[in-house]
Each structure stands twice: as C-alpha cells, then as structure tokens.
Chains A and B, each alone.
Chain A
Amino acid sequence: MSEDKDRQVARRGPRSRTTTIALLFLAVVVLCVYPHFPFVDRLFEAIGHPILLDRKLVSIFIFGILALALNVQVGYAGLQQLGIAAFFGIGAYTTGILTVEKYPFHVGFWGAIVAAPVCAAIAGLAIGAPTLRLRGDYFAIVTLGFGEVVRTIILNLEGITDGPRGLNPIPDPWLPPAVAESSADPARVKYLALYYIAFVLLVGLAIVFRNLERTRLGRALVALREDELATACMGINPVRIKLVALAVGAGLAGLAGALYSTTLTTTAEPSTYDFNYSIMVLCCLIIGGVGSLRGAILGAVVLFGFDNIVSPLITELLQPFAAASSGNVFLQFNNWRWIIFGLALVLMMRFRPEGLWPSSRMKAELHHEDEGPLSKVGP
C-alpha cells in the first residue's frame, strides 16, 4: 500500500516540481525589484484606491517569518502551540529595551536582531523544559496560559515596559555610509533596508528549512509528529527533539518581533501580542498547509493580504452605503471579519485539512485516511 503511495507521489513529482520551482523563482525575482517598480501600487493609485502594497510587503515578510517559526513547532514537531505571540512579543520588547534612549544599552538594530532571538529561544526553553513531557493538549493549554502571562506581565510592569504605551522610539538600523547616502530621503533608505533584510531572511529561512527536511533532525521531527511512541522506540529522544523545535521556533518568532518593532519604531501596545494573534499565525499554517513551507508562506500572504489589503479596500468601497445607513453594524465589512475567519477555519478542517498548498507528503497521508498514521482511532 505505502509503495503505491510513494509511486503516486513520485509520478506526479517531477513535472509539478519544475512548475513550482519556476513559479517560486519568478516570485523571488518580482519581489526583488518590486520596491523600485511597484506596478500593482501604480495600478491601484490610478483607479483612486491606493493600497500601499510596497509598505505592506515588509509586514507580510515578517508575518511569513513568524509563520515559518510556528511551522517548525506545529508543522514539523507536531506540538500544539497556542502562544506563539508571546515569543513574538518577547522579541519585540527585547529589541525595545536594548535600543531605546531610556535604557543604557543602545545596541542598535544589529545587536537586537541577535539578542532578540536568543532571549525568545531561552524563554521557549524555560517554558518547554518542564512542560514538554505533558500530553499534547495539556501542552496547548500551557502555551496558551504562558501567552496570557507574558502579555499581562508586559502590560503591568509599567516601570520597565512603559505599559500600554509601548517602548519607543526604536532607532532605525545602522547602515554602511555608502548605502545610507544612496538616497536623499532617509525614510526611503530605511524602508528599502528593512524590505531587503526581511526578504532575505524569509527566503534564507525557507531554503534552510527546505534542506532541514532531509537531515537527521528534520526526519526525526517529522517522525515525532507522526508517532511519538514509535519514534521513541527507534531510539530518538522525543523530549530533546521537541525542545530543539520549540527553541528554534521561539527564536525565529523573536527575530520576527525584532523586525516588527523596528519597522513600527515602537514595540506597539502589549495587547498586540494576545491569544488572537497567536491564532492568526496558526490560521496561516492551517490555510496554507500544516507542515508545508510554501503553504506557511502562502498562508501568511493570504491571511495578511486579506486582513490588511483586501478588507480595508472593501470597507472603502462600501463606505457610501455604510455612511448612508448611519453605522449599521451589519453593513460594515470589518464586522464580518471574525465570521469569515471562523468559517474559513471550520471549512478548511472539514474539506481540505491539508491546506491550500500542502507538501506532497501530508497530502498523500491525509487522502489515505483509513491507513495513514495520522488517523488515530477515534471513539
């Protein structure tokens, strides 16, 4: 049976793989030149509804890094992690504390981009070490609780974190003089710098993870997701592998936090890093495909794009109607947001659990339901 599956995967493999690689290559090239030639923005500006895609792409890249971070934990290791926003927040606040005027550190962006992932990874280890031996759903609760604890602490330690105001201003990254003086407009230089930093990090991480999937560690992670007991019997230490996944994921989330706060020049208010944010990142994976690299990035693009580009655009287009009805709650598109997300989650789980762009392995597994290792015997 499983030979059949392999053959099936192999058969549709080569052709679709070439297409995929060509598509990805095209996407990378387009994104490389996009800041200098923002054709989509020009188009929307021409019809009178600017969408600022060039600015928002930076956030999409950061969100993509966050999705990759969660993918290591949920997609590869199969941890039920419901508190990724906590590590994102820890990264952002580490950056804040290490760079703002108020504190004596002033390590700047490049120092923070190293320190933030380290701090977040240490937090991940600290919460993971005692709790990883718990059953899957208990671990979900621990991470959920941890997220709430971190958010509450950040909010209430006003002496350190400036409470609801957030730490700011976070200075711009230091750049070599040749780069910094390439344009007369410092804001433009900063935008370009962050655009390419985030983009290179996202692409670099995707390549690293692509290769990781074929290493000893990568295979151990996937084995763990499929069957923890069998993995342990094969002589792999599940807790150690899970800890690695947790620390790597937390560290990357911290990295995303450092980039995020630098882009915003503030750590933003603590309520940004709440449970809903964690769930949004999880949604990226669900929509794109749990355990699939390209799926995670696609999910980030779809979700962030919907939330920050499509939704405001529709709201703007509906403005005349909403205004005429004196703020009727049903006519504001924004108010439908959670119903749309909720329905998307429910329908995806029901009809396309492997996501929009799954890895061939997950797809093969989920479509052989009666024999796949993922199908636990239910009640």
Chain B
Amino acid sequence: METLAQQLILGVTNGMVFALIALGYTMVYGILELINFAHGDLFMLGSFLALTLIKVFDLPTASSATLLLALPTIAVACAVFGGALNWSVDRLVYKPLRSAPKLAPLVSAIGVSFIFQNLGLFWGGLPLFGSAKDASAQKDVPALISNVNLLGEGAHLRITTKDLMVIVSSVIVMVALYVLVRHTRLGKAMRATAQNPAAARLMGIDVDRVIGATFVIGGGLAGIASVIYALYINTVHYQAGFQNGLYAFTAAVLGGIGNIPGAVLGALVIGVVRALCSQYIGAQWEPAVVFGMLILLLVFRPAGLLGSHVREKV
C-alpha cells in the first residue's frame, strides 16, 4: 500500500513536468494541426541553458536567499529563450509551408528536431562542461533544492521539498495559462483560431499573430519545464528531449489533442502509468506499456479522454 502511494506521488510529480511540455504540443496542434516534433528537443536545449546559467553564476555555493531569487530568474530566462526559439522556428520553417501538403511541415519539424539534438550535443561539448570528449555524456545538475522529506525523516511516505517545488511551480504556470486562454483577448483569439482559422480571420483576428503567440507561449512553457526538470531529475542529456517529448506528446493525444485541460490530465495519467509500470512490471517495459496504451486508446476513443468527437473538416 505504501509502495503504491509512493509511486502515485512519483507519478504525479513526473506527470506535472510532462504536462508543461504536453501543453506546448497540444496548443500548436490545436491551431495548426501540426505535430511539432522539435518541441521535445526545444525543451532539451532549455535544460542545457538552465544548467549553463547555474554553472556560470556558480549557484551551488550561493546562499538560499540568493537561490530563491536566482532560480525564478533562470526560469524566466529559459522561458524567454524557449519562446523566442520556438517563434523563430515557426517564422523560418513552418510559416512558409502553411499552404503545403501536411507531410511537409511534419517532415520539417522532424528536421528541426534533428538540428536541435545536434546543437544539444555541441552545447554539451563546450569547455564549461569539462572535456569536449564527453560531449555526448549525461551532464549532472548540482542538487540545489534539498531532498528532505517534508513528513519527517521517520515517515513511511516521502514527499520532498523537490516534489513540492515541481508541483507548486507547475500549478502556478498552469493557472496562469488558464487565465490567459480563458480571460484575455489573446486567449479568446487563440480559441477562435483553433476552432476555425478562416472564420477567425473574417472576424478581424490577425491569425498569423495568434499563431506566433501560440508558439511563444508553447516554447515558454517548455523553457519553464526544462528548468523544473533539470532541478528535479538532476541530469541533462542531449537525447533527453526525444523520449520526454514523445511521452509528453502521448499525453497530449491521450487527453484529446488540442484540449488544454486534457493535456494536463493525460500527462498525469502517463506519469502514474509509468511509475506503476516501473514498480510492478519493470522499467524496461515502460515504452511498450505507454505506447500500447496510446494505440488502444486511439482505436477505441480516438478523440482522447476529454476531447469531443469532431468530424473531419472537408
């Protein structure tokens, strides 16, 4: 029973990080019907930036008051970086392909993903991370946030400061996103564009600006997720984007792609399933279980857990 509860906590915490990445996938898909394969790798580059900033400012030796100020600053920096990068990619790569067959932006996104992975490899080869020979090695992130059990060291369950940091910061970001999408003009324009781009344009919405804003927000969320991930998992690797991106994308589909609360729900489900799978079946079976679940879900409920069935636009 305790193991189960412990795995649930682990799953929810992991799921929160996936949720932040999944939101970027789902928002872009909702508007463009594009699977942005580069999104996971954007997240990976963000985590490299986070680690670089931590090393440059020598945070492991800083006092906890400095940390309290520095970490949110790093999160903002990574969010800006992610948003700017995502926006530039859209401008340079996807935008000229808006009227091309659907395979074209999909393939371009895979191309961008390859480029990002390679940049991540080069980033890891910078002198800052030690010998250039180990460019492809996993980089350790110093443990800046203590791993103390909040329930007291003797307790059976472990909920650490780190878990709390992940959950609290993710929830803050999600609430901010919810307010943005539900209660601002931009959010309204985004929802309208997702529903019907042509009609939105006729209503005087600048669809190109809305798409740009979506990429900025999605990239920003991935940037914040990358900081949280780096501080939580304590490693950074140039291939981490691919696997995490795939899981996050699965989460987005699971919740009903294009559906914002659905992405969060899907990510929590994926997090919990992964945790339970590694506890009871074996960690090496995780991909098979997660993707098997995805296939079954698509067969029986293609619209996802929260999505409503939409007839294909003709």
Contact = CB atoms under 8 A, between A and B. Distances in A.
B307 to A, nearest CB: 11
A376 B103 CA distance: 11
Interface stretch (A117-125, A252-260, A323-331): A323-331
A279 interface: yes
A8 interface: no
Given A80-B103, A135-B312, A146 B295 contact: yes
Contact of A375 (B100, B287, B295): B100
Contacts of A374: 100-101
A149 B292 contact: yes
Nearest to A370: B99
Given A131-B299, A137-B102, A156-B288, A328 B294 contact: no
Residue among B104, B114, B253 having the largest count of chain A Cβ atoms under 10 Å: B114
B118 interface: yes
A343 interface: yes
Interface string B106-150: 111011111111110110110000011101000000000000000
Interface stretch (B90-98, B158-166, B221-229): B90-98
A140 B298 CA distance: 11
A335 B291 contact: no
A279 B111 CA distance: 10
B44 interface: no
Interface stretch (B13-21, B31-39, B264-272): B31-39
A140 B106 contact: yes
Contact of A335 (B96, B108, B135, B314): B135
A342 B101 contact: no
Interface residues of B, number: 62
A290 B103 contact: yes
B197 interface: yes
B267 to A, nearest CB: 16
Interface stretch (A12-20, A203-211, A237-245, A345-353): A345-353
Contacts of A156: 282, 284-285, 288
B115 A338 contact: yes
Contacts of B118: 335-339, 342
A46 interface: no
Given A141-B253, A282-B107, A335 B294 contact: no
Interface in B293-307: 294-295, 298-299, 302
Nearest to B38: A342
Contacts, number: 161
Contacts of B99: 369, 375-378
A136 B135 contact: no
B244 interface: no
A344 B197 CA distance: 30
Nearest to A145: B291
A235 interface: no
A192 to B, nearest CB: 37
Nearest to A329: B125
B291 A149 contact: yes
Given A279-B110, A326-B133, A379-B31, A349 B102 contact: no
A286 B287 CA distance: 28
A41 interface: no
A378 B135 contact: no
Contact of B115 (A131, A346, A350): A346
A155 interface: yes
Contact of B294 (A145, A329, A330, A339): A145
Given A328-B132, A330-B122, A349 B107 contact: yes
A335 B122 CA distance: 8
Interface string A126-148: 01001100111110111011101
Interface string A80-108: 10000000000000000000000000000
A145 B295 contact: yes
A117 B241 CA distance: 34
A156 B283 CA distance: 11
Nearest to A134: B302
A136 B193 contact: no
A146 B287 CA distance: 10
A341 interface: yes
A152 interface: yes
Contacts of B282: 156
B85 interface: no
A116 B115 CA distance: 35
B173 interface: no
Interface string B175-202: 0000000000000000001000110010
Nearest to B110: A279
B118 to A, nearest CB: 4
Contacts of B249: 141
Residue among B112, B294, B312 having the largest count of chain A Cβ atoms under 10 Å: B294
Interface of A: 74, 80, 127, 130-131, 134-138, 140-142, 144-146, 148-149, 151-153, 155-156, 229, 275, 279, 282, 286, 290, 326-330, 335-339, 341-346, 349-350, 353, 369, 374-379
**Nearest 3 Cβ contacts at the A-B interface:** A379-B197, A345-B111, A329-B125
5 contacts: A138-B298, A145-B291, A341-B114, A350-B93, A379-B201
Given A130-B299, A327-B133, A330-B125, 15 more contacts: A141-B253, A142-B295, A148-B287, A149-B288, A149-B292, A329-B135, A338-B114, A338-B121, A342-B114, A345-B114, A349-B97, A349-B108, A374-B100, A375-B101, A378-B99
